[in-house]
Amino acid sequence: MTIEVRVPQLPESVADATLVAWHKKPGETVQRDENLVDLETDKVVLEVPAPTSGVLKELKVDNGATVTSGQVLAILEESAAQAAAPAQPAAATAAKQATPAPAAAKAAAPAQASAASARRDEGSSQKLSPSVRRMVGENQLDPGQIAGSGRDGRITKTDVVSHLGQKTGSVAKQPATEARQPSPAPTVPGSGRGARRVPMTRLRARIAERMVQAQTTQALLTSFNEVDLKAVQELRARYKEKFEKEHGIRLGFTSFFVKACIEALRKYPVVNASVEGNDIVYHEYYDIGVAVSTDRGLMVPILRDADATSFADIEKSVADVARRAREGAIRLEELTGGTFTITNGGVFGSLMSTPIVNSPQSAILGMHKIQDRPMVLDGQVVVRPMMYIALTYDHRIIDGREAVLFLVSVKESLEDPARLLLHV
């Protein structure tokens, strides 16, 4: 019986997707729920699993093609082995009753080891994220030979890079007659120097489009302030172990900044608003985007109704969506919407920056590196853990007054965290 493998239903906001790569070839056996192909949309990579076990009979779409919801991707010939499944227990019982001769057992050992290796390889391939799977395929690597350091043994991009480094090192030790000669890099005409040209992924192209759109359609301006994080650091140190024991998650800085921004948004709702035509839309809810850096580009998962979410739940949600965004397992609906965004360049060492608004939102807060600096307090020079914060905003609807007072509110909440409990 033949079965059609189709493009899953895409969300309303997504018109089409690009077929990134097939993971099976015609004639190969596939298992039920095994990923057959990756489809890339503007925001996420979707995996299309096999609806049943069988043999891949025909591919209807090539790599790089644009596909739409419901389009036929491949033809799968359903396996007849499932019908014979009830006979397997009897066969297994018969096999147990027969005692193989020592020579036969010895001869069967290599085959058993090979089968076990194949199962390990199959298990490893199931743990590959789309970006890692693509990297493994492009370098013709065996996933079973790569040690995974990620969660549940998942192979990460760092693991692949490390494996490639070891592999390259072993080649370098071979005799010169056996060493593989590297292929010459393509050259730019007339330059005489090597260069490499690769097309943008759909995500990178979409990021570029949205950034240019924000710059050309909004009147962007950035205001700065600085925050003394000594009180937050002391609070985290005081309750660190108890918080983690009680909630199963570390108490980070993100939840403090999310809560501080919500308090400031309550006071200055225009910062939480957006422009639609000649109207200003004031959002009476707080869906906060938290920017996450991934191998494929920047993603902004949304924390829905963050004002009604506890510190622990914010930390759990951020950790969960960040992990799934990097693994390519995040859902498209988790990246849509949002009324305000927070981005943290400090994790990469940035001391100051001017972030770009995530349109159609009207503002974004940039966090930066915490650095000890001398500060004058009560006439005395003291060393404090300071952070510059930046608010980029659409000056069409947000005046400098609201922007500056918003930053002051965030600063006051973080320098006196008790305000977050009292909503003052």
Identify the domain boundary among 116, 145, 168: 168
Q: Which of 163, 228, 395, 423 is catalytic?
A: 395
Which of 13-17, 57-61, 63-67, 331-335 shows the lowest per-residue confidence on average (mean pLDDT)?
Answer: 13-17
Residue type at position 139:
N
Claim to verify: residue 255 and residue 382 sit in the same structural domain:
yes
Is 395 part of the annotated catalytic residue set? yes
Per-residue pLDDT at 152: 65
Claim to verify: residue 287 and residue 397 sit in the same structural domain:
yes
Q: What is the edge-to-edge ordering of all strands in the sheet holding 17-22?
A: 45-49, 35-40, 17-22, 66-67
Claim to verify: residue 36 and residue 143 sit in the same structural domain:
no
Claim to verify: residue 235 and residue 370 sit in the same structural domain:
yes
When divided into structural domains, the chain yields a total of 3
Domain assignment present for 119: no
User: Please, are residues 162 and 136 in contact by the beta-carbon 8 Å criterion?
Assistant: no
Claim to verify: residue 17 and residue 156 sit in the same structural domain:
no
Q: What is the CATH number of the domain that holds 41?
A: 2.40.50.100
- In whole angstroms, give the CA distance from residue 107 to residue 251: 57
Nearest to 224 by CA among 407, 15, 8, 25: 407
Claim to verify: residue 161 and residue 221 sit in the same structural domain:
no
Per-residue pLDDT at 349: 93
Length of the chain: 424
Q: Which of 38, 394, 399, 416 is catalytic?
A: 399
> 179 — phi, psi (to 5°)?
-65, 140
Claim to verify: residue 374 and residue 232 sit in the same structural domain:
yes
Residues facing residue 298 across a β-bridge: 293
Claim to verify: residue 136 and residue 223 sit in the same structural domain:
no
Claim to verify: residue 4 and residue 140 sit in the same structural domain:
no
Domain assignment present for 370: yes
Q: How confident is the model at residue 45 (pLDDT cuts 50, 70, 90)?
A: confident
- In whole angstroms, give the CA distance from residue 327 to residue 155: 10
Which of 31-40, 138-147, 156-165, 244-253 shows the lowest per-residue confidence on average (mean pLDDT)?
Answer: 156-165
* pTM of this structure: 0.65
Per-residue pLDDT at 192: 59
Q: What is the CATH number of the domain that holds 136?
A: 4.10.320.10
Claim to verify: residue 72 and residue 134 sit in the same structural domain:
no
Query: pLDDT over 70 for what percent of the chain?
Result: 78
What mean pLDDT is reported for the chain?
81
Q: How far is CA 370 from CA 48, 238, 332, 353, in A?
A: 43, 19, 33, 14
Domain assignment present for 102: no
Domain assignment present for 105: no
Claim to verify: residue 155 and residue 220 sit in the same structural domain:
no
Q: How confident is the model at residue 46 (pLDDT cuts 50, 70, 90)?
A: confident
The residue whose two tokens read 């043999």 is 55
Residue 174: other Cβ atoms inside 10 A: 10
- In whole angstroms, give the CA distance from residue 114 to residue 109: 9
Q: Are strands 340-344 and 288-290 parallel, antiparallel or unpaired?
A: parallel
**pLDDT exceeds cutoff 60 at 126:** no
Domain assignment present for 414: yes
Question: Is residue 269 reached through a cis peptide bond, with omega within 30 degrees of 0 on the bond before it?
Answer: no
Domain assignment present for 24: yes
Domain housing 1: 1-84
According to the per-residue pLDDT averaged within each range, which of 162-166, 170-174, 183-187 is highest?
Answer: 162-166
Q: What is the CATH number of the domain that holds 265?
A: 3.30.559.10
Per-residue pLDDT at 98: 46
Domain assignment present for 151: yes
Nearest to 10 by CA among 33, 40, 49, 52: 40
Identify the domain boundary among 84, 99, 119: 84
> 31 — phi, psi (to 5°)?
-105, 150
Residues facing residue 382 across a β-bridge: 375
Is 163 part of the annotated catalytic residue set? no
- In whole angstroms, give the CA distance from residue 312 to residue 256: 11
399 in helix, strand or coil? coil
Domain assignment present for 178: no
Summary count for the chain: helices (H), strands (E): 10, 19
Per-residue pLDDT at 15: 78
